[in-house]
Structure 1
Amino acid sequence: MCVLLIEAFYGGSHKQLMDLLQEELQEDCVLCTLPAKKWHWRARTAALYFMQTVPISPNYRILFASSVLNLAELTALRPDLGKLKKVLYFHENQLVYPVQKYQERDFQYGYNQILSCLVADVVVFNSAFNMESFLTSIGKFMKLIPDHRPKDLEEIIRPKCQVLYFPVRFPDVSREHDKGPETFFEVLLKLKEKDLPFHVSVLGEAFSEIPDIFSEAKKALGSSVLHWGYLPTKDDYFQALCMADVVISTAKHEFFGVAMVEAVYCGCYPLCPKALVYPEIFPAEYLYSTPEQLFKRLQNFCKRPDIVRKHLYKGETAGFSWAALGSKFRSLLAAEPKEDL
């Protein structure tokens, strides 16, 4: 059996998952990718690219792709791939992804994902929040079509859907604009104004469009900045996490949150919005409802850092590891018909 892995946006968590599957699966894998740049163009045109570049082989049994790819287009262009068991994995969904306003091009991305679900044999989401937000939005989303609307699409797609959490590769340790940076930096600058002692590491890969708030905040935070930007290796990244006491999310959207789970594993106390996927992943005491609540929690931690340094995390992260999820992915990528995981 040969597993064909296709990733139209080979970066971040998308790359992590494909690399992990390729390394851990006993079966032969063929990995076909496009760089993680110009997301919108990948969603529009990747199928045509892969039509020409995916090698023809009689050995393929499974096709596994993320939902960036228009699976309907690819299987129409390559009928040989349409005969495979097709597994579609949703890291995020475009039906509830925040946009400035509905425009025809915005509609296309969600529409592509619906088409992909219709041709897939199994549709997998990285959280229940991701799955339910997608499925329950289909009806409203299709009403954007002015007339002759298709019906009952949720009922057709739902039976082939399941949740399988993202498998995080945890380290051996002893201890993007859509992520809401404005709220994050406003709270930190407020702490700075009150002369509260803290250091901050802002870690992550820099893409082509960086909001002005990042450069402004870096200058204003000054000596409070410990690390800023992309760290050269994963080990450096985990080492920075192990030095930290608190990890903060101010995300406006999140469908799983790999970085938050990694940070908690490394010993950080998480503070997340009481919304999106976070109540599914983290116990209630780690959630906040307003920026004011976040500020008060951080203000207290700055004054009494021992609170977080002595704290034992009350949730669990082991269930998000490959050790816990690997057998489910292997079952998913078996040639047999879909099994309930």
Structure 2
Amino acid sequence: MNILALEPYFGGSHQAFLDGWITQSQHCWTLLTLPAHHWKWRMRHAAITFAEQVTSLPHTHFDAIFCSDMLNLAVFRGLAPQSIAQLPAVVYFHENQLTYPDNTRAQRDYHYAFDNFQTLLAADQAWFNSAYHRTEFFQQCRAFLKKFPDFTLEGRLDHAFGQTTIASPGLPEIETSQREHNWQCPHIVWAARWEKDKNPESFFRAMYRLKDDGLPFRLSIVGESFRDCPPIFSEAREVLADHIEQWGFLPSHEDYVRLLCTSDIFVSTAEHEFFGISAAEAILAGNLPVLPSRLAYPELVDQQPSLLYDGTTFGLIAHLQKLREDKTFQQAVQQQTALVALKLDRLQWSQLAPVYDERLKSVTDKA
């Protein structure tokens, strides 16, 4: 099949998804992309821009459209040539603008959320990266639509839900590293955007407590930082200087995987997460996950109880201390991590791409 892919924000997880799938796909792909910055402007103009760009493409028979949630698919269908507009379309929800944190505004701009709703209705099928994400989006979308004075449209969600499915993001090829874990001086990794919704304060407070208790550990803090970086990072870099192995963004994904292959424990303190790719990659690389029992994490690790903590700072401290001292608990964590790694191995693109190729073909067969 010939697939027209439209990605208004070609960077990060959006780019990784398309690159990973296309590399392993049996379909032929034509990509129209825009740079991964000024996301609000991308959501405003992408449909118009892409509708103009498709008119200058070499004459090709396309079988389907694949786009992300950053595109207003309804507007694109209205402006594109009929031969393109009438194609069956699948939208992939990496995130949504109803529940994605917006730390720059005191009040959310719901125009972008309504764009997501329109795209949902305009698609033949909507793929969500986790069941948690789909449930949260539909709950919040229903509440959002009920706020309007009349013609509230929430009834459209019932039909739209039937057009959705769960499609985990594919993972890169990572060979699971079988190694002995250092229980007495573990190498702990925290890898996330350096922003408030990833809850770095909780993580560093837990590390301060381990330091005060005299427990040895090594620490790698990686991830993308921004201009308004929470001040806890500069404080923690000084307080925990003697424990730091790696601090800051790594130049390539290969460097990040190499780090994961030498570390012991991956910790998340996130208050916002639609899937948990960093945690999934860490597990594949041989790390033992310590994840809050909220968001998409229980789904990611199949509710394995020894891999989850209660989400509080005190709960994280207790979990890490138990992991250091309790051999029975250590064995349970290792066994449960191995089970999750088997599941995640099937999400590597070499195995997942044929599944998604067939799923995309089934959408066109029904059209």
Question: Structure 2 length normalisation: TM-score?
Answer: 0.84
Q: Which residue of 276, 290, 308 corresponds with 1:257?
A: 276
Q: In the alignment, what sits opposite 1:15?
A: 15
Q: Which residue of 310, 330, 333 corresponds with 2:357?
A: 330
Measure how far apart 1:120 and its partner are.
0.5
Q: In the alignment, what sits opposite 1:66?
A: 68
Q: How far apart in 1 are the matches of 2:262 and 2:242?
A: 17
Deviations 1:18-72 (A, max 9, x none): 1012211222211222222232332233223323334434322211111011111
The answer on 1:318 being equivalent to 2:345 is: yes
Q: Does the CA-based 8 Å contact 2:222-2:249 persist in structure 1?
A: yes
The answer on 1:215 being equivalent to 2:242 is: no
**What SS is found at the alignment partner of 1:162?**
strand
Give RMSD over aligned pairs. Answer: 2.5
Measure how far apart 1:204 and its partner are.
2.0
The answer on 1:299 being equivalent to 2:299 is: no
**What SS is found at the alignment partner of 2:334?**
coil
Q: How far apart in 1 are the matches of 2:22 and 2:13?
A: 14
Q: In the alignment, what sits opposite 1:43?
A: 43
Measure how far apart 1:232 and its partner are.
2.0
Measure how far apart 1:157 and its partner are.
0.6
Q: Does the CA-based 8 Å contact 1:85-1:335 persist in structure 2?
A: no
CA 70–318 in structure 1, closer or farther in 2 if over 3 Å, else same: same
Give ranges in structure 2 of 5+ residues lacking alignment.
Answer: 179-192
**What SS is found at the alignment partner of 2:144?**
helix
Q: How far apart in 1 are the matches of 2:281 and 2:11?
A: 17
Q: Does the CA-based 8 Å contact 1:139-1:153 persist in structure 2?
A: no
Question: Structure 1 length normalisation: TM-score?
Answer: 0.90
Between the two proteins, the alignment pairs up a number of residues equal to: 338
Q: How far apart in 2 are the matches of 1:308 and 1:5?
A: 45
Measure how far apart 1:335 and its partner are.
6.9
CA 241–151 in structure 1, closer or farther in 2 if over 3 Å, else same: closer
Q: In the alignment, what sits opposite 1:120?
A: 123
CA 37–220 in structure 1, closer or farther in 2 if over 3 Å, else same: farther
The answer on 1:199 being equivalent to 2:202 is: no
CA 127–151 in structure 1, closer or farther in 2 if over 3 Å, else same: closer
Q: Which amino acid in the other structure matches residue 275 of structure 1? A: R
Give ranges in structure 1 of 5+ residues lacking alignment.
Answer: none
Q: In the alignment, what sits opposite 1:6?
A: 6
Query: Is the deviation greater in 245-254 or in 27-36?
Result: 27-36
Q: Does the CA-based 8 Å contact 1:87-1:120 persist in structure 2?
A: yes
The answer on 1:31 being equivalent to 2:31 is: yes
Q: How far apart in 2 are the matches of 1:243 and 1:74?
A: 46
Q: Which residue of 259, 277, 280 corresponds with 2:299?
A: 280
CA 255–300 in structure 1, closer or farther in 2 if over 3 Å, else same: same
**What SS is found at the alignment partner of 2:90?**
strand
